[in-house]
C-alpha cells in the first residue's frame, strides 16, 4: 500500500494515495488502509488511480445526454460571507452546456496559478451567476468496469437497498455533475454524515476546501454566529448547501482547513463529518455517490438532520445497529447509547493494517513517532482551547428575544483569550498552520478616508432575500437625512459634559499608571470635533425647550429626571438603575436587545444577549496584528455573573462590562463611580443612568451606545474600555433624534438610523431602547436591522407565545370562520389534545398526528423516544417512522354568531386587545349587525320601511336565489 505523502504528520494534511493495480481492485479494503494511515483525520483524501485505468473508453458520445434541471447560482453577500440561491433553468444537453460554459461571459479568466484563480473566484463570486448541471442521475462508467465503480461500490450502505429495496438518488446511486467556471458547492457534510467519493471524468480541475471532522463543530458555531436567522430557523441549516464562507474568514477565526485541487482522472474521498466546499475551474464532469464503513454507524446515529425541508435524506439506523452493533442495540433503542465519537479512530476494518504496521515498525522510528504525538497533543490542546472560545463567541446568540447584531466592516474580529482555572496568562507554543492575532491596546494610524471607504463598501453591498428583495441600510448610502440636519456645525451638549475632575481619577500609583496607559491608547479628538466643540461652547447648555412634549408619553415618564438638561440627581439615577436591574435581562447593557418584557427577578447568572462579536472590534490595520483576546468571562453554559455597583446601583453582566468575576466583591464599583466622576454623562446620547466607560478626551460613553454606534471601537476588548470614538463620521453627529429633538435646542450626541431604504429617521440608542424601537438580528453582513415606527409593519410583529394568556370560557375572541374570514366569537369549551411528532423513513416529518394514527402502539401511552413505529397516513397506507415526542396542546372550541363551532389551537385565536397581523386585519368582518342575519340563518328578510328593489328587467328570465339576492341588495 502506497501513499505520496509519507512524511506528513498524521491528520495535518490531506493525503494523496497512489494504489497499485492489485490494491485498486478492492475498494473497501483500500479505504480501510487509508484510514489506517490516518487519512480520515483530515476529513478528505485524494486517490490517483493506477496508470492506464479508465472508467470509460470515450466521452465523445455523451453530447446528447440531457441535464434535466440545471441551476443558476445567484450569490449574495460580501467580505467572505455569502449566501447561494439556486434558480432552476430549463433542461439542456451536455453539448449546449459545454457551449455555454465556453462563452466569454462564462469562461474562466487568465491566471498564472491556482492561487490567483482562487482569488479571482472569491472576488467575483457575486457577479455573473454561473450554471451548474448538478444532481443528474446516472453514471458514465462502462458496465464492465469493476474497480472503484461508483455505481457498485459494494459497501455496507448497500444494506439500505438490500434490506428495504429503497434507492436514494445520489446517496446509494450515482449522480453526475457538470460544472463551469465559478459554479460552486457550499459548505456541508454529506447526508447522514456519510462518506462520499467523487471522480472527475474530464475537464478543468475542481478546487476543494475541507475542515477536519474534529473541528467541524467549530465551523458550525462560526456559521451560526454569522447567519443567526438561518440558525434559528433550522439547527442544521448548513445542510441546505447555501452558505459560502471564504478561506480568509476561516483563517481570521482560526478554523483549520486544507485546500486540495482535483485534476481530471482523480478521486476525492470525504470522510464522515468532514465539512467541505469548493468550486470548478471551468467546464468539467464529475460523478459522485455516498458509501459507508462500520465506523460511520456512530456518525449516522448522532447526525443532526434538517427538519424544515421534506426532501432531506434520512436513513433509519436500526438495520445497521442491529447488524453491526447488536450488543448496543437495546441500549441505543432506549436512548442511552451516547458514546462520544473519536474522530481519530479508524474504522474497525482497518485493524489488520494497524497490526501489520505494528509488526513491521522498526524500533528506530519510535522516537520520531513520539515527537509527532507530542506535537499533535499540543495542537489538540491548542485547538481545544480555541474550540472553547468559539463556543463562547459564535454560538451565544440569543434568539428568543429581539436582538441586535452590529455589522462592523472595519474588520472587528477579536476573539476572547483562553480561560484557565488559575486565571494565569496562557502562552501556547507556536503552532503551525494556525493564524494567530494580537490584541493591541493602541489603535493603528487611521487613514483619513477610513470612514468614507467604509460607507462606500457598504453602499456596494446588497443583501438579496429569497424573494429577491433588495435591502440596503440607509447609513450604507451615506444618507443622514437632509431634513434632519441643521446648517450650523456647532452642537452644544449638557453642562455636565464640559469638565472632568481629573484629580479624582488618581486611585493610587498602579491605577494612575493604568489610566495613563489607557488615555495614551486613545487618540485625542481634533479641536473642531463635535464632542469637543460641544464641551467648549459658551452658549447656555440648558437645552430644555419643550419639556412637556415627551414627559407625557408613557415610555418617557420614568426618564423625567434622567435627561442631561436637568440637574444631576444621583438618587433618581440610583432608583432608575435599581428599577431596570429588576427586570429581564437584568443587565443595563443588554437592555438594548430586550424590549418591554417584564417578569419576576432573575437569577444571578443569566445569558447575555449581546454577542461577543459586537464588542470584539478593531480597525482594519489592527486586525492584521491580532491575537486571540481574553475570555469574555462567560461560563461554559453561556451564562455570566450579574454584578451591581455599590454606589450607583447599575447591574451588568461581568462579560458585558469586562469585569473578571474573581475580582468582584460586595463593595464593587463601576468604572465611573470608581473614578468619582458622578457628574459625568454619556457624550453619545441625552440620558443619564446605565453603565459607562471612559472615552476620548476624558469623555464618558454608555457601553450600550458604544455597541450600537457602528464606528465606536473598544480598544481593550476584554475590559470593554476605553472606547475610541475618533472613527465616528462627523455626519452622524449632525443627526437629530426622532424622540428628543423637540426637547433639545440643538442636536447632541450620536444617532443610529432606520435600516429601511433611505429612511432618515434617527435615534439615540438609549432613546430608541426606552421607546421600544424594534432592533432585531439580520443576516450578515447587515446583521443589525433598526426599524422606525413608520416602517414597523404588522408582518414584523411576532406574537410572544410566552405572553399569550390562557383563554377562559365565555371570553370574546377573534378566530377564522370556515368561510375564510375572521369574526368575533365566544370560547365555549376548553380541552387538551395530545399530538405525536414523528420522523418518517423518507426524511419527512409530521408533528400533528393523533395517537390512534400510530398503529403499532397498543397502549395509549406515548412510545419511547426513538421507537420505530408504523403510521397510518391520510391516504390509508402505513408508513415507517421513528417517534420523536408527544405534545400536549390546549384546544379551544369557539362559537360564531351563526351558531357554527370550530376547534382551534391557541396560535389561531386572537384576543380583542391584541394587535392583529395584517393578514388578519384585511379579512376581519363584524357580523353583529342584525341585518346580516340572513346570510347565516338563511331566512328571508323584508323591510317594510324600504321600497322593495326589483330585479333588472334584463335578467328577469334568469333564476336568482332570493336569499343571496336580497342579502346582496341589502
Number of residues assigned to the chain: 970
CA atoms lying within 13 Å on the CB side of residue 279: 25
Q: Which three cell numbers stand for residue 809?
A: 370560557
Residue in the structure block whose three cell numbers are 493602541: 442
- Distance, in Å, from the CA atom of 486 to the CA atom of 736, rounded to the nearest integer, reads 9
Whole-number Å distance between alpha carbons of 810 and 826: 6
pTM over 0.75, yes/no: no
What are the CA-CA distances from residue 426 to residues 98, 240, 418, 623, 718 (Å)?
55, 39, 7, 21, 15
Residue 826 and residue 751 share a domain: no
Q: Do 855 and 782 have their domain in common?
A: no
Beta bridge partners of 889: 833
Structure confidence at residue 526 (pLDDT): 64
Q: Residue 476 domain-assigned?
A: no
- Asked, for residue 523, whether it belongs to a domain, the answer is no
Q: Are residues 599 and 745 in the same domain?
A: yes
**What is the set of active-site residues?**
170, 177, 188, 190, 276, 288
Q: Are 754 and 818 within one domain?
A: no
Return phi, psi of residue 869, to 5°: -130, 165
Answer yes or no: do 763 and 846 share one domain: no
Assess if residue 574 is contained within a domain: yes
- Do 66 and 173 belong to one domain? yes
The 3 state secondary structure assigned to 530-579 is HHHHHHHCCCCCCCCCCCHHHHCCCCCHHHCCCECCCCCCHHHHHHHHHH
Query: What is the chain's alpha carbon radius of gyration, rounded to the nearest angstrom?
Result: 33
pLDDT of residue 568: 77
Whether residue 851 is contained in a domain is answered as yes
The dihedrals phi and psi of 219, each to the nearest 5 degrees, come to -65, -40
Q: Domain of 594: which CATH number? A: 3.30.40.10
pLDDT one-digit tens code per residue, 26-69: 999 999 999 999 999 999 999 999 999 999 999 999 999 999 99
- The answer to whether the beta carbons of residues 852 and 955 sit under 8 Å apart is no
> Residues of 140-163 as b/e, b for ≥16 C-beta within 10 angstroms?
bbeeebebbbbebbebbbebbeee
The continuous run of DSSP H or E covering 260 comes out as: strand 258-262
Q: Is residue 817 part of a domain?
A: yes
> Rounded CA gap, 828 and 492, in Å?
62
Res 389: pLDDT: 41
Place of cell 449522480: 175
Last residue of a domain, one of 319, 334, 349: 334
The answer to whether residues 873 and 849 touch, using CB atoms and an 8 Å cutoff, is no
CB atoms within 10 A of CB 916: 17
For residue 906, what pLDDT is reported? Answer: 84
> 582 with 659, same domain?
yes
Burial grade of 408 (CB within 10 A; 0-12, 13-18, 19 or more) = buried
From 754, 787, 820, give the residue that closes a domain: 787
Instruction: State the pairing for strand pair 812-816/910-911.
Output: antiparallel
**Which residues does residue 507 pair with via DSSP β-bridges, in sequence order?**
none
Classify each residue of 446-463 as buried b or exposed e, where b means 16 or more C-beta atoms within 10 Å of its C-beta: beeebbeebbeebeebeb
Contact 82, 75 (CB under 8 A): yes
Residue that terminates a domain, selected from 334, 350, 373? 334
**Grid cell at residue 953:** 328587467
Instruction: Give the torsion sign (CA, 951, 952, 958, 960).
Output: negative
Phi, psi of 897 (to 5 degrees): -70, -20
Residue 725, sorted as left (phi over 0), alpha (psi -120 to 50) or beta, turns out to be alpha
Residue at 734 is within a domain: yes
Q: What is residue 427's three-state secondary structure?
A: coil
Domain co-membership, 823 together with 759? no
What CATH number is given to the structural domain containing 819?
3.10.330.70
Q: Are 719 and 660 in contact (CB under 8 A)?
A: no
All 3 cell numbers of residue 585?
Answer: 435581562
Q: For residue 959, what is its C-alpha cell? A: 333564476
Residue 178, pLDDT score: 97
What are 870's three cell numbers? 408504523
**Cis peptide before 722, with omega less than 30 degrees from 0?**
yes
Task: Tell me the three state secondary structure of residue 346.
Answer: coil
**Domain boundaries, position 303:** 15-334
Chunk the chain into consecutive blocks of 10 residues (it has 970) and report each block's average pLDDT, rounded to whole numbers. Answer: 49 86 94 93 96 94 94 93 93 96 93 93 94 94 94 85 66 92 96 95 97 93 88 89 95 93 97 97 96 93 83 82 89 81 89 68 38 42 43 36 32 36 37 37 38 37 34 36 38 34 37 45 63 49 47 68 75 80 76 51 63 57 45 71 89 89 89 90 89 88 86 84 88 87 77 83 88 70 69 53 74 89 91 84 77 72 82 81 85 89 87 82 68 43 46 51 48
Considering the domain architecture, whether residues 778 and 815 belong to the same structural domain is answered as no
Torsion of CA 952, 957, 958, 962, to 10 degrees: 70
CATH of the domain at 44: 2.60.120.650
Residues 770 and 835 in one domain: no
The Cα–Cα gap between 146 and 128 comes to 41
Please indicate, yes or no, if residue 836 is contained in any of the structural domains.
yes
Same domain, yes or no, for 179 and 242? Answer: yes
Alpha-carbon distance of 931 to 928, in angstroms, equals 9
pLDDT value, residue 116 = 94
Domain count, the chain: 3
Domain-embedded: residue 423: no
Cα-to-chain-centroid distance, residue 537: 46
What is residue 264's predicted lDDT score, i.e. its pLDDT?
96
For 320, the enclosing helix (H) or strand (E) is helix 318-324
Q: Say yes or no: 732 and 879 in one domain.
A: no
Amino acid at each position: 500500500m502506497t501513499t505520496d505523502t509519507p512524511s506528513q504528520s498524521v491528520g495535518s494534511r490531506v493525503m494523496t494515495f497512489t494504489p497499485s493495480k492489485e490494491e485498486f481492485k478492492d475498494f473497501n479494503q483500500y479505504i480501510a488502509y487509508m484510514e489506517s494511515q490516518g487519512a480520515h483525520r483530515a476529513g478528505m483524501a485524494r486517490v490517483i488511480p493506477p496508470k492506464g485505468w479508465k472508467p470509460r473508453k470515450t466521452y465523445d458520445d455523451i453530447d446528447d445526454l440531457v441535464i434535466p434541471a440545471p441551476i443558476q447560482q445567484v450569490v449574495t453577500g460580501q467580505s467572505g460571507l455569502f449566501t447561494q440561491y439556486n434558480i432552476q433553468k430549463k433542461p439542456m444537453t451536455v453539448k449546449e452546456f459545454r457551449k455555454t460554459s465556453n462563452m466569454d461571459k462564462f469562461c474562466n479568466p487568465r491566471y498564472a496559478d491556482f492561487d490567483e484563480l482562487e482569488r479571482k473566484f472569491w472576488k467575483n463570486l457575486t457577479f455573473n451567476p454561473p450554471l451548474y448541471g448538478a444532481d443528474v442521475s446516472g453514471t458514465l462508467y462502462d458496465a464492465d468496469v469493476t474497480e472503484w465503480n461508483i455505481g457498485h461500490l459494494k459497501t455496507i450502505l448497500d444494506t439500505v437497498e438490500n434490506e428495504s429495496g429503497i434507492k436514494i438518488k445520489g446517496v446509494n446511486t450515482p449522480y453526475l455533475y457538470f460544472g463551469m467556471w465559478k459554479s460552486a458547492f457550499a459548505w456541508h457534510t454529506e447526508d447522514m454524515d456519510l462518506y462520499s467519493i467523487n471522480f472527475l471524468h474530464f475537464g478543468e480541475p475542481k478546487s476543494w476546501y475541507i475542515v477536519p471532522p474534529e473541528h467541524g463543530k467549530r465551523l458550525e458555531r462560526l456559521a451560526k454566529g454569522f447567519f443567526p436567522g438561518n440558525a434559528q430557523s433550522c439547527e442544521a441549516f448548513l445542510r441546505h448547501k447555501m452558505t459560502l464562507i471564504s478561506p480568509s474568514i476561516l483563517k481570521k477565526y482560526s478554523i483549520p482547513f486544507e485546500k486540495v485541487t482535483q485534476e481530471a482522472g482523480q478521486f476525492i474521498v470525504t470522510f464522515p463529518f468532514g465539512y467541505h466546499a469548493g468550486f470548478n475551474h471551468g467546464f468539467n464532469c464529475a460523478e459522485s455517490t455516498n458509501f459507508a464503513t462500520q465506523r460511520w454507524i456512530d456518525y449516522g446515529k448522532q447526525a443532526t438532520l434538517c427538519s424544515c425541508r421534506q426532501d432531506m435524506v434520512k436513513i433509519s439506523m436500526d438495520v445497521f445497529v442491529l447488524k453491526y452493533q447488536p450488543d448496543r442495540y437495546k441500549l441505543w433503542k432506549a436512548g442511552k447509547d451516547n458514546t462520544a465519537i473519536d474522530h481519530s479512530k479508524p474504522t474497525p476494518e482497518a485493524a489488520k493494517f494497524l497490526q501489520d504496521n505494528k509488526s513491521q515498525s522498526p524500533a528506530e522510528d519510535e522516537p520520531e513517532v513520539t515527537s509527532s504525538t507530542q506535537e499533535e497533543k499540543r495542537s489538540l490542546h491548542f485547538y481545544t482551547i480555541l474550540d472553547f472560545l468559539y463556543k463562547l463567541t459564535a454560538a451565544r446568540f440569543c434568539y428568543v428575544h429581539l436582538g441586535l447584531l452590529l455589522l462592523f466592516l472595519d474588520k472587528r474580529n477579536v476573539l476572547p483569550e483562553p480561560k484557565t482555572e488559575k486565571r494565569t496568562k496562557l502562552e501556547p507554543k507556536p503552532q503551525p498552520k494556525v493564524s494567530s492575532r494580537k490584541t493591541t491596546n493602541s489603535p493603528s494610524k487611521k487613514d483619513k478616508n477610513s470612514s468614507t471607504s467604509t460607507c462606500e463598501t457598504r453602499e456596494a453591498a446588497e443583501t438579496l432575500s429569497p424573494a429577491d428583495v433588495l435591502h440596503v441600510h440607509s447609513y450604507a448610502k451615506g444618507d443622514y437625512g437632509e431634513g434632519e440636519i441643521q446648517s450650523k456645525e456647532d452642537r452644544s451638549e449638557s453642562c455636565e459634559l464640559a469638565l472632568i475632575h481629573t484629580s479624582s481619577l488618581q486611585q493610587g500609583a498602579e491605577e494612575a499608571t493604568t489610566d495613563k496607559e489607557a488615555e495614551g491608547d486613545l487618540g485625542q479628538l481634533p479641536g473642531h470635533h463635535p464632542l469637543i466643540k460641544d464641551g467648549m461652547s459658551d452658549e447656555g447648555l440648558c437645552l430644555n425647550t419643550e419639556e412637556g412634549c415627551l414627559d407625557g408619553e408613557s415610555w418617557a415618564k420614568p426618564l423625567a429626571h434622567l435627561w442631561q438638561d436637568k440637574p444631576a440627581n444621583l438618587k433618581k439615577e440610583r432608583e432608575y438603575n435599581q428599577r431596570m436591574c429588576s427586570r429581564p435581562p437584568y443587565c443595563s447593557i443588554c437592555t438594548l436587545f430586550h424590549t418591554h418584557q417584564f417578569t419576576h427577578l432573575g437569577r444571578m447568572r443569566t445569558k447575555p444577549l449581546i454577542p461577543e462579536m459586537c464588542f470584539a472590534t478593531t480597525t482594519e490595520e489592527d486586525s492584521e496584528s491580532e491575537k486571540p483576546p481574553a475570555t469574555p468571562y462567560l461560563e461554559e453554559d453561556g451564562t455570566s455573573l450579574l454584578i451591581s455597583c455599590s454606589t450607583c446601583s447599575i447591574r451588568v453582566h461581568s462579560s458585558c462590562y469586562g469585569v473578571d468575576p474573581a475580582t468582584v466583591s460586595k463593595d464593587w464599583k463601576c468604572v465611573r463611580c470608581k473614578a468619582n466622576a458622578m457628574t459625568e454623562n454619556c457624550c453619545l446620547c441625552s440620558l443619564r443612568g446605565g453603565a459607562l466607560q471612559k472615552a476620548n478626551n476624558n469623555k464618558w460613553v454608555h457601553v450600550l451606545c458604544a455597541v450600537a454606534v457602528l464606528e465606536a471601537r473598544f480598544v481593550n476588548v476584554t475590559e470593554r474600555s476605553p472606547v475610541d470614538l475618533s472613527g465616528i463620521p462627523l455626519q452622524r453627529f449632525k443627526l437629530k433624534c426622532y424622540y428628543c429633538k423637540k426637547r433639545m435646542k440643538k442636536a447632541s450626541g450620536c444617532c443610529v438610523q432606520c435600516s429601511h431604504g433611505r429612511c432618515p429617521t434617527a435615534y439615540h440608542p438609549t432613546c430608541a431602547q426606552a421607546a421600544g424601537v424594534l432592533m432585531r438580528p439580520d443576516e450578515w453582513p447587515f446583521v443589525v436591522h433598526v426599524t422606525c415606527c413608520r416602517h414597523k409593519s404588522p408582518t414584523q410583529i411576532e406574537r410572544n407565545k410566552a405572553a399569550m394568556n390562557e383563554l377562559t370560557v365565555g371570553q370574546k375572541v377573534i378566530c377564522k370562520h370556515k368561510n375564510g374570514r375572521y369574526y368575533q366569537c365566544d370560547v365555549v369549551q376548553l380541552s387538551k389534545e395530545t399530538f405525536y411528532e414523528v420522523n418518517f423513513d423518507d426524511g419527512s416529518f409530521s408533528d400533528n398526528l393523533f395517537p390512534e394514527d400510530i398503529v403499532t402502539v397498543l397502549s395509549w401511552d406515548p412510545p419511547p423516544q426513538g421507537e420505530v413505529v408504523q403510521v397510518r397516513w391520510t391516504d390509508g397506507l402505513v408508513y415507517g417512522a421513528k417517534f420523536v415526542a408527544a405534545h400536549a396542546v390546549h384546544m379551544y372550541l369557539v362559537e360564531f354568531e351563526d351558531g357554527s363551532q370550530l376547534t382551534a389551537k391557541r396560535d389561531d385565536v386572537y384576543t380583542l386587545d391584541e394587535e392583529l397581523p395584517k393578514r388578519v386585519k384585511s379579512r376581519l368582518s363584524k357580523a353583529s349587525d342584525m341585518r346580516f342575519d340572513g346570510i347565516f340563518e338563511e331566512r328571508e328578510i323584508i323591510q317594510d320601511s324600504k321600497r322593495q328593489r326589483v330585479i333588472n328587467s334584463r335578467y328577469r328570465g334568469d333564476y336568482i336565489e332570493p336569499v343571496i339576492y336580497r342579502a346582496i341588495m341589502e
